[in-house]
Structure formats: structure tokens, C-alpha cells
Structure 1
Amino acid sequence: MATRSRATPKTKDKSAASRPLKLPTATETTTSTGLQVMAAERGPLPLVAMRLVLRAGSATDPKDKQGLADFTVRLLRRGTERMSADAIDEAIEFVGASLAAGVSEDLMSLYVTTPAEHFPAMLSVLGQLVREPIFPEKEVELARERSLAQFANDLDDPSTIADRAFTQELWGDHPYGHDVGGTASHVRTFTREDVVRFHRERIGPKGALLVVVGAVKPEVVAAEAEKAFGGWTQPEQLELLTVPPLERLAQAGRILLIDKPDQSQSQVRIGGPGYRIGHPDYFAATAMNIALGGGFTSRLVNAVRVERGLSYSVGSYFDTMSAGGIFAISTFTKTASTREIIDVSLGEVGKVRKGGITPRELKTAQTYLAGLYPLRTETSESVASVLADIRVHGLGDDWVEQFRDRLRAVTPKQVKTVAAKYLYPQAPTMVLLGKASEVKKQLKGLGPVTVVPVSEYE
């Protein structure tokens, strides 16, 4: 639920923060085969934004095929029963539309933006992509080669390796416990049959949601959705996967040191339990995190970068999914100062955990977040995403309208409560990547250290 935006002039922020927030009225219908449809008419631009959300995120990957959901979604546009990959690209480009697709832990999403006059044609294309992809063998082979090449390139990016290892350490055997893109060892085994099976079992109208926002009447959306998706059936589709809630992080208190001897810097990741999307703690925790490490003038930035010059970049964040989440710190520093940056970071966390933040810090965070949030409703694309989030994650129909009021209602006492709850009340998990021969001796007293070669993350 985090938002990011470039700074804007103060006068603009005040105007955005003061005007009422209200989403356009959404009309909800259902196609004959069960696809839920939300349509919101919105002008004045003659554009339409669509978002199709499927409950087929990386958490639904088979255990021995990690990354298959991501691999599949990238192949959806590589040919259907009626259109070749080139024909799909040409159809989209010819009318000035755009198509994007991606996977998160919980969801698979396809996004289309099109001039309003071409809405029916582009919705038809979107329907074809999910209803009748053919997954040509050649395209599967090319996608596998590209993925493996990217994994090889990633070995030269210490930050990417550290992030992947961090995910595994925090979540363990939980369905969230692997990178969305999987691993090279798994992707290497992907076949066309794997992709076809995943599509047959996981991609269907059950639990799916189509959100359409822009210059089009709701009744037109309903009629065109029936044409595009009315025959979409998946007789072999499995029951919707329910991701189990996280009882506890699998590796709490453990330190994983990934040895990359050629490194002159250490990547540092520190994490512990957080909360799920839509949790009541969201507003207090988000305001607290802006003061701690989520803003440009935060305590972590001041202590690590401004006062000590230990790193150019340091930050903290909550990462939330439907079944749980984490609180984490991410930074890097030169090898010799690895222990110092850990101690300084944990020291700032400890101060907030025990004492909360000041009323001034809270007010600053509330003003900053209240000023940014209207950007979530400025375009039809952003409104479509917000509507999808509200419905998929059960945020409540008044989420946008009440967002700033709920944020401004946060008190210092509430902040102190969530700080004590999430800011590492137990020993956090740490993942470090760097020159192990120099780093390990700095870690005495922090907990058990496991050293692994970087080759384990190929």
C-alpha cells in the first residue's frame, strides 16, 4: 500500500491535500461464466484503463516449479488461437494502446490502456490472451533462455541476490518464500506442458476481477465483457488457493552471510514480522515508518547517511501481502563498516520501539502522506488499480474517502503501540552479502552465523 512520488511544490501539495477524495461510482456485474466486472465512467479524456486481476500469483507456483506464474504471464501475449504474437503487438500499437502484465505474490494482473473508441477491440484482445493462449514451443524456449540469461546477469548484482536470499530466509517454506521470478534451477526445467497445465488449472474466471475505468458507459462495459469473456470456462481449474497465514518467520534470529569474495561492500538486510494488507495497524505503522526510515529526512537516513556517511542509501519499509507481511531495513556499506551500520540501524529502531516518535515527527508524516495520496486517484489507470485493491483485499468501499481522516486520527500512543509490536521485539533475521572472511569476524554477539557461497543463488 506504499506510494512513491517526486516532490511537488508546496502550494500544489496543499491543494491536493485539502480537496475531497472520492472515487467515481462503480457498477458491478458478472459475466455468464462468473467473471466479476467493475465499471466506473470517468472523463474528460477519451481514454479507458483496464485491469484484469487473477488469483494466480507466485504463491500458487508448484513447489518444484518456482517462478512458473511469472513465466506464464509473460507468455500470454506470445500468440493465441486467433492471433500471432506479431499480430497482437501490431493490434495494440496501431490504435495507440498499451499492454502490460505482471505477477506479485498474491495476484497475476494484466493492464491495458486504450483510446475509448477502440475499447471493444482491446477488450477482445485481452480476453483472447487469457482464454486461448497457445504457448508456441519456440516462444517457451526463447522465454526460458531469456530468463536464464537474466539470472546469470543477476549474479553481478549483489543487491538482487541479497533480496532473493532475504525473502527465502524470512518466509522459509511458506508459499511466499521464493522470489516471484523463481530460481535458475527451477526455470531450467520449465516445459510447454508445465505452462499449459498452469494456465488450465490456475487462470480462469473463478475469483477473477475485471476493472474498467474511463470514458465508457458501464452498460457498454458489461456487454463487451460478456462478448470477450462469456465463453471463458476452465473445467479443470483447481480450487482457489488460500495462502496460509504466517505463524512466525521461519528464521528469526538467524544471520545468513553470503560469501562473495570480490566485494568491497556489504549488502545488509534486516527483517522481522509485519502485517497483512488491510490490517488495522496500517495507518499508525505507515506514519511511524516515515519517521523511522521511509522518508528523506527520517531517523535512519540522518543517523546512517548524514551524521556518519556509512551509506548513500538506507531505508525501512513494510511489505504486505494477503496472508502476512514483514518489516525490513535495507542498506549497504563498505566492508569495514558492516557491523557499525548494523549497530546504528538497530539502535535507531530500538529508540523508536521504546519511545515512539515525537508529535512533530508524526504531524510531518501525516502531512506528507496526506499530500501524496491524492495522486492515487489522478488517472484512470490509478483509479482502476485502487478499485481492484479495494475489492480483492477487502479494504472497504470507503478506503479512499476515509484514508486521510484515518491517517490524521493516528495518535502518538498508537504509534508507540505499533512500534513495540513490529520493530523487532524479538531478534531479527539478517542477510548479509559481502566478503565473508572480513565480515564474519565483525558479527560476534549478534547470533548464529551461517556462511554460504554466492553460487547457491545461481
Structure 2
Amino acid sequence: MTGRRSAEEIGSTPTGPRALPPLGPQRSVPAPEEVDTVLGSGLRVVAVRRPDVPMVELRLRVPFADTSGRDDSAHAAVAEVLATTILSGTSSRSRVGIDDDLAGVGGEIGFSVDPERLSVSGHALADGLDTLLDVLADLVLAATHPDDELARERERLVERIELASAQPSVIARRALQERRYGAHPVTREMPRPEEVTAVTADAVRSLQASALLPGGSVLVLVGDLDPADAVARVEKALAGWSGGRAAPLPALPELRARDLLLVDRPGAVQSQLRLSAPAVGRTDPRYPALQLANLALGGYFSSRLVENLREDKGYTYHASSSLELDPHGAVLAVETDVASEVTGPALLEARYELGRLAVVPPTEDEVESARRYLVGSLLISMTTQAGYASTVAALAAHGLSSSWVREHPARLEAVTTDEVAAAATEFFAPTRFTGVVVADAARTGPGLHALGGVEIP
């Protein structure tokens, strides 16, 4: 057939490639049907109708921090064993019975724990919501943590921790947390094997009874449901869950700028660089500009850190910067792993990029690219029931409603290049950072000493 043009011809003009049309205005995210309420027990329930598929996603976040004031990891070890063994059985269901009941409604449920909270994630077919809630209530109220199951799971957990503890990234994370926050409970992200070995069944049962409480907790349901009806079902299923308020994480100590700490890892062929500085959280008016400045530095592949350390110098495969959020605010984190012989040069370039961002702020093109990426990522995170449930649960755990995430694209669109420049100057100056370098001190110490700004024990 004659007269048909190729894609190349369609995209071209006699004088060159056809210019792309400007991006259209960002569409607003419609608000779904939702109920957000607090039950008499103190449990906050957020139920959202998203009838994309006949499923329901469940997220439960329970503040589960160590408030004992002890400078040890006993709480972290007991909490890890609790999260590992809670599915072993209840007073009315065996492990197999739990699996069978959930499988009958196309469901799953899982538990995890960190220094701040106990997290539960699950899903089921929409008409299996009652079963999912019944299993959840049974686990929260009547988990037995049988001695034989606990012993087996404790051994498996010790093996996993021993394997993980040998990983350079885990060693670097632990060192960074201790450098930032000392002996604060937030640093106890992974207990040590000997601490897990010492955990008893009585300690696990006692922690569940004393700390797994509804007050201050958040339960999110997203799916093919009627929100008001879903809240009523939650209230009925969890009627027996009462007894007080869950323990929140104590306020973090102030993150102070100081020299990086060299942590010796003899024989290591790679070094882990971890830098961190104070930032601001989601409710601060500077937060959208800070997000865009962070993306320009190292928040995605088209960033300055990646261009310098990976593409130009070839020092690393991966370099990044990110914002770590907590209920008390946020911190900036810059990280990369490099070969031992380029540890000093890589740190020099990372500091250079921080300083360059502060004094040579992101250009209009850099800001616009970061904006498009961030808005797109935010919208993608809300397209599925699972993504929306996780996003709402994360916001609710920080005291925010789902309206924050729907309104945030507009806040990002309103940020000016000058505001991003101001955020870059305020938050990314190299003198604001501390952190660690985990490396073979014998190979890297002299170069780091010459570079300066590194504490070498």
C-alpha cells in the first residue's frame, strides 16, 4: 500500500526531528471511598474501597519499641523470635490449620518486626475478609508459641542472622546506626545470634501479652469492600483485643555532624561508604524541594552521584542518596560500595558532589527530570491495591491520612528551581554529615588520613 509513512518519517520534519509537545498538566488523583476512624480500643482503622480486583489487602502496624531503658538487645531478640513463631499455632488452630483456613479464601499473612514496630501484611479474596480478620484476631490474642516450634524456629533464625551478619552491607548498616544514634533502641535492627539463643518461650509469650496492644496501632484495609461495613467487621473480629497503648519509639537523639568513623574489616576487598545528615519530614514545607534536590544528587539513575562515581570514574556499580523517614523527622543517607584501592578517591568524589549540589544547585532541566520521575513513581505506587495499602499504612504510622499522598503531586508541581536550590544549600553541605567507612584499615587508612575528616581508631 503506497503513501504510508514510517515512524521515523512521522517524527521528523524537513529541518530535523519533530519537537516533542510540552507535558500536560498533572491530573489530580481522585479520592476513593474511605472510612478513617479510631475504635474504642484505640486501634485506628482505615478502610478504602478499591474494587479493581475482588481482593482485600491488609496492613497492621503496631508500635513495638523497647522502652525498658536497658542498653542491650534483649527486646530485639525476643521480638524477632515472636515474629518468627507467631504463625506456629494458637489455642484453637495449629500451624497447618492457619494455613488451611487462609488458603481456603486465597489468603496469606506474614509478620515482621523492626526497632519501631511489628508489621503484619496479608491479603484474601474479598468474600474471605471475615476469615482473614478471624485468623488475625486469633494470632494477636491467642498465639501459643509452642516450645518445640519455638526451638526449631529459633535455630533457623540464628542461622539466618549468622549469614546476614557476615554481609558487608549489614556490617555497614549496624556501624552507621551506632555512629548516628549510639545506644538508642533504633540501632538494634538485628539481634546477635547469642541473644536469640537465650530467648525463652516464656519471654516471647510475656512480650506478646504486654506489648502487642491496639492503642496507637493502625489497621489498613484496601480492596473490593464497603468501608463502613469493613470497619464494623474489624470491630467485631477484634472485640477482644484491648488492654492499653502500644509503646512508641523514644525520640531519637540529635544527629550531629562529625568526622566519619573508619571501621576496620581486615582483608576486605571492598569498602562501604555511608554518610548521613539531618533532614526534615513529610509535613515540613521544605520537604518537596528536599525530595527533588535529593533525586538530583543520587535518588535515581539519572543523578550526579551515578554520573560521577559510576559512569565517569567507574568506581562503583551503585551509588545513591535517600531520605529515611521516621515519626520524629528524617535523615539523609548517601551510600556506595567501592574497591579498597579507590576508597579515598570515591569518598573525595562523594564529598565533591555534596558540595557541588550546595553551591551549584540543580538546573531547571535536572529539577524537571526529577519532578517527572518522582510524581510518576508516586502515582505508580498507588495503582494497585497492595501498593495503596502499603502507602496508606506508612503514612498512617506517621499520623498522616491518605489525602497527603493524593495531594503531594500538586506540591511537587509547585516547587520552583529556586526552592530546590535553597534546599540543596541548606541540607547537602558536606560539613553537615557524619557516617562510617567500613574497610580494611591497613589498606585504606593512610589515604583516608591524608584526605582528612575521617576518625581512624
Classify the secondary structure of the residue corresponding to 1:112: strand
Classify the secondary structure of the residue corresponding to 2:46: strand
In structure 2, which of residues 253, 275, 284 is the aligned counterpart of residue 246 of structure 1?
Answer: 253
Task: Give the Cα–Cα distance (whole angstroms) in 1 for the partners of residues 132 and 301 of structure 2.
Answer: 41
Alignment of 1:5-404 (within 5 A): 18-57=26-65, 63-64=71-72, 65-67=74-76, 68-179=78-189, 181-234=190-243, 237=244, 240-241=247-248, 243-249=250-256, 252-396=257-401, 398-404=403-409
Q: Is the 8 A contact 1:376 1:382 kept in 2?
A: yes
Q: Is the 8 A contact 1:283 1:407 kept in 2?
A: yes
1:242 Cα deviation after fit: 5.2
Gaps of at least 5 residues in structure 2 are: 1-19
Q: Is the 8 A contact 2:216 2:246 kept in 1?
A: no
CA gap of 1:191–1:337, structure 2 versus 1, over 3 A, is same
Task: Give the Cα–Cα distance (whole angstroms) in 2 for the partners of residues 223 and 93 of structure 1.
Answer: 24
Alignment of 1:379-458 (within 5 A): 379-396=384-401, 398-424=403-429, 426=431, 428-444=433-449, 445-447=451-453, 449-451=455-457
Classify the secondary structure of the residue corresponding to 1:269: strand
Task: Give the Cα–Cα distance (whole angstroms) in 1 for the partners of residues 429 and 113 of structure 2.
Answer: 29
Task: Give the Cα–Cα distance (whole angstroms) in 2 for the partners of residues 41 and 62 of structure 1.
Answer: 44
1:121 Cα deviation after fit: 0.8
Q: Indicate the percent of aligned positions where both proteins have the same amino acid.
A: 28
**RMSD of the alignment, in Å?**
2.5
CA gap of 1:87–1:238, structure 2 versus 1, over 3 A, is same
Matched to 1:137, the amino acid is D
Task: Give the Cα–Cα distance (whole angstroms) in 2 for the partners of residues 100 and 146 of structure 1.
Answer: 17
Classify the secondary structure of the residue corresponding to 2:183: coil
1:158 Cα deviation after fit: 1.3
Classify the secondary structure of the residue corresponding to 1:135: coil
Q: Is the 8 A contact 1:277 1:322 kept in 2?
A: no
1:248 Cα deviation after fit: 2.9
Q: Is the 8 A contact 2:290 2:420 kept in 1?
A: yes
* Count of aligned residue pairs for this structure pair: 433
1:284 Cα deviation after fit: 0.9
Task: Give the Cα–Cα distance (whole angstroms) in 2 for the partners of residues 419 and 157 of structure 1.
Answer: 33
CA gap of 1:59–1:328, structure 2 versus 1, over 3 A, is farther
CA gap of 1:57–1:341, structure 2 versus 1, over 3 A, is same
Task: Give the Cα–Cα distance (whole angstroms) in 1 for the partners of residues 196 and 429 of structure 2.
Answer: 35
Q: Is the 8 A contact 1:66 1:186 kept in 2?
A: no
Task: Give the Cα–Cα distance (whole angstroms) in 1 for the partners of residues 416 and 35 of structure 2.
Answer: 36
Matched to 1:248, the amino acid is L
Q: Is the 8 A contact 2:116 2:249 kept in 1?
A: no
Map Cα deviations across residues 340-393 of structure 1 (whole Å, 9 max, x no partner): 000011001101112321111111111111122111221222222233233332
TM-score by length of 2: 0.87
Task: Give the Cα–Cα distance (whole angstroms) in 2 for the partners of residues 60 and 378 of structure 1.
Answer: 41
Moved more, 253-262 or 191-200: 253-262
